[in-house]
Structure 1
């Protein structure tokens, strides 16, 4: 049995809006939107990977709040896990693999072309927000 690589993504909220990032690479994903994050490195906990990836990709410091229940298949051998995250400091900027960021209000979540694998994760985050679970607000 092959080990599965976990990819973590952050559902970062500010003033009730969700942060979305538009991919600039690789070419087959460019122009589509995702929850920012990346692979968990060997010896790293998912929460540590999330903080590191959001720092590298967006230049922000975050604090993981909770894992959103479920995991979603990516390509073979990879799964996506999502954590809500509190923005502690910094203003997000597209530093790596992204060319645009957007804060989406709850009624704007369908306004961007999400990557197929991110759609169910975004829907799960939206459900939890409606239920008042996983509040991840700044400071």
Structure 2
């Protein structure tokens, strides 16, 4: 690493790994609370709280992926027009470089119901900082709090 970057936080750039793009929802109710779900047993990082969403499939936009994932995971319907970008994070895990794209959503149809064995809870925005979350989600918290 050159001397001019020696004082930059974060150290060396992550090693070359496959890139995984994930879209996640910052679902906001009328009381400015955010919906979080936990990672179910059997998945990596089981029990940690996260924003609902999932992987962007090949040839799928991040917005379309999130609309699809919300219907699959929570049984709610929304449209890409209801999604507002509100954060971005990148994290190098052991086997993948994860890029996490967050979208604020205030309008959807239906009541969120966990369909994949996960727990869920509505949390005030400032309460997000007290949750045990995956490393990739943590950088989103300040971004979300500053926007909302």
Answer yes or no: same fold by TM over 0.5: yes
Of residues 5, 16, 26, the one that matches 1:11 is 26
Distance of 1:70 and 1:27 partners within structure 2: 23
Change (3 A) 1:14 1:43: same
For the pair 1:34 / 2:54, whether they are aligned, the reply is: no
Find the counterpart in structure 2 of residue 86 from structure 1: 106
Where 1:99 maps in the other structure, the secondary structure is coil
Task: Quote the offset at 1:105 in angstroms.
Answer: 1.3
Distance 2:60 2:43 in 1: 28
Where relative contact order (Cα < 8 A, 6+ residues apart) is larger, the structure is: 1
Instruction: Assess if the C-alpha contact under 8 Å between 2:23 and 2:56 holds in 1.
Output: yes
Q: Does 1:95 align with 2:115?
A: yes
Task: Name structure 1 gaps, 5 residues minimum.
Answer: 130-139
Q: How many residues align?
A: 128
| CA offset digits 1:17-60 (Å, max 9, x no partner) | 11111111444411110011101111111100010001101111
TM-score, normalised on structure 1? Answer: 0.80
Report the TM-score when normalising by structure 2.
0.76
Q: Match for residue 122 of structure 1? A: 141
The structure number with the bigger radius of gyration is 2
For residue 112 of structure 2, give the secondary structure of its aligned residue in structure 1.
coil
Counterpart residue number, 1:44: 60
Q: Matched residues in 2 for 1:47 and 1:7: separation?
A: 10
User: Is 1:57 paired with 2:77?
Assistant: no
